[in-house]
Structure 1
Amino acid sequence: MAQWRSTAEFRFKKKHGKQSSYHCTSVSVGDNWIKIPKCKPIRAKVHREIVGKVKSITLSRTLTGKYFASILADDTQEQPKQIDNLEANQVVGVDMGITDLAITSTGHKTGNPRFLKKAQRNLKRKQQALSRCKKGSKGRHKARLLVAKAHERVAFARNDFQHKLSKQLIDENQAVIVETLKVKNMLKNKRLARSIADAGWHSLITKLEYKAKQEGKHLVKIDQWFASSKTCSVCDLKQEKMPLRIRSWECSCGAIHDRDINAARNIKKQGILKLKAEGLSVSADGGLRKSGRLSVAA
């Protein structure tokens, strides 16, 4: 007997969604063109020299009607080996936040640009104009493109900022330690959901991960249940409660902590323990840098 699935199990591809196609045979790239099977050479702006043998090409079309080609090539170069002997002053702990996007164990704070919040009024105006348009009309199609372009500008600005920040962190350190964040669960907080989504913690950690792999460096994710904010980084005494409104606090040992910097230092300590447990050598700390604010151009 034939078994039928409910309609809820089927996922239909949206007409106006992102479209993509993958090609791994009969593909080639020139100075200003790409070639895929059953098509004549397609004019393209190749912004980077392709080194090695082209293995595949993925074509994609964005919601705004722009076409991109992602090219995979084998350059025959071996991936750099990961560093085995690390220096503690070249290991940095990073605490993710909302007011400040990234707080390091050296005391540097990178402010959160809040790209979505800055574009909120413009997005609201365009989305209201879209909702007033009749479905299926040319006016609605134009209004939809304006909304898509506004969202695209926000995404591009956030990606650009995160690429620069992640590269700076990887270039300056041999290992970067971060928390394991369950962003999907955190988005259930109605008051902070929009701010958390705007921060883009997951995409920043993803960029850190592949950049570290390319450079032969380490990205370490510590346990999500580790109480980095409630633990004193000097005496390791854990406080019973630490609500979000408390931004600085004093431990019974006399140490006065900035909540976020203290959390980053605890994250670094846990990361070093994890690196040593994996059999890596971490030398003694050569001292901390002076605290300040790290400025990254968006």
Structure 2
Amino acid sequence: MKPTLLDYVSDGLYVDSNGNAGTNHRYYRESHDKLAKAQRKLYRMQGSKKYEVKSNNYMKQLRKVNRIHRHIANQRLDNLHKIFAEIANQYDVVCVGSINMRSMANRSFGNGKATLDNGYGMLLNMLEYKLSDRNKYLVKVDKWFPSS
């Protein structure tokens, strides 16, 4: 039975007990300029105000903006599925610390966009069902547990 411990790191996705690090891919940051340009173009069109009639060009641009958002989300999700399937195949018991990602993404820390782009918040849900499909175990460690 091979156990491992996954711990959150801000400059990557995770670090396990063997020292292996997760990916450091920033999908939102890579597409940020393209998304900002498309959103600026959308804002300047007729229909962007609250009670304006939406023009056909506005609706076409809105679909383009939504496509960029969907592309970013699908890239992140695909990467996470690949990583967690590999973890679920390698280890029999996986221990993760339960941390509050919403409070870590708080603006006072100054790393909210990077924390949310990381995708660590999806870790528990994905690992839970991937490990249960393979009849393996996920152990959630309390955030106040003294592990060091």
The TM-score, its normalising length taken from structure 1, stands at 0.46
In structure 1, the residue matched to 2:50 is none
Correspondence for 2:78 among 160, 166, 175: 160
> Quick one: which amino acid aligns to residue 157 of structure 1?
Q
More displaced stretch, 148-157 vs 106-115: 106-115
Question: 1:94-133 maps to which residues of 2 (within 5 A)?
Answer: 94-133=6-45
Query: 2: distance between equivalents of 1:220 and 1:175?
Result: 7
Query: 1: distance between equivalents of 2:120 and 2:130?
Result: 16
Q: Does the CA-based 8 Å contact 1:98-1:112 persist in structure 2?
A: no
Deviation at 1:225, TM superposition (A): 2.0
Correspondence for 2:63 among 145, 149, 160: 145
Deviation at 1:187, TM superposition (A): 2.2
Deviation at 1:227, TM superposition (A): 4.9
Query: 2: distance between equivalents of 1:106 and 1:183?
Result: 24
Query: 2: distance between equivalents of 1:212 and 1:150?
Result: 31
What is the DSSP-based 3-state SS (H/G/I as helix, E as strand, rest coil) of the residue aligned with 1:108?
Answer: coil
In structure 1, the residue matched to 2:127 is 208
Deviation at 1:120, TM superposition (A): 0.6
Deviation at 1:203, TM superposition (A): 1.2
Deviation at 1:97, TM superposition (A): 1.7
Structure number with the higher strand fraction is 1
Structure number with the higher helix fraction is 2
Query: 2: distance between equivalents of 1:198 and 1:227?
Result: 28
Note if 1:91 corresponds to 2:12. Answer: no
Structure 2 residues without counterparts, runs of 5 or longer:
48-53
> Quick one: which amino acid aligns to residue 119 of structure 1?
S
Cα distance change of structure 1 residues 174 and 127 upon mapping to structure 2, 3 Å threshold: same
What is the DSSP-based 3-state SS (H/G/I as helix, E as strand, rest coil) of the residue aligned with 1:128?
Answer: helix
Note if 1:170 corresponds to 2:82. Answer: no
Query: 2: distance between equivalents of 1:129 and 1:226?
Result: 49
Deviation at 1:147, TM superposition (A): 0.6
Query: 2: distance between equivalents of 1:153 and 1:171?
Result: 27
In structure 1, the residue matched to 2:114 is 195
> Quick one: which amino acid aligns to residue 24 of structure 2?
N
In structure 2, the residue matched to 1:134 is 46
Query: 2: distance between equivalents of 1:207 and 1:163?
Result: 7
What is the DSSP-based 3-state SS (H/G/I as helix, E as strand, rest coil) of the residue aligned with 2:107?
Answer: coil
Percent sequence identity over matched residues?
A: 26
Structure 1 residues without counterparts, runs of 5 or longer:
1-86, 232-298
Q: Does the CA-based 8 Å contact 2:12-2:118 persist in structure 1?
A: no
The TM-score, its normalising length taken from structure 2, stands at 0.90
- Select the structure with the greater relative contact order (CA < 8 A; seq sep ≥ 6): 2
Q: Does the CA-based 8 Å contact 2:13-2:119 persist in structure 1?
A: no
Note if 1:180 corresponds to 2:92. Answer: no
Is the radius of gyration larger for structure 1 or structure 2?
Answer: 1
Deviation at 1:220, TM superposition (A): 0.8
Superposition RMSD on alpha carbons, in Å? 1.3
What is the DSSP-based 3-state SS (H/G/I as helix, E as strand, rest coil) of the residue aligned with 1:122?
Answer: helix
More displaced stretch, 218-227 vs 153-162: 218-227
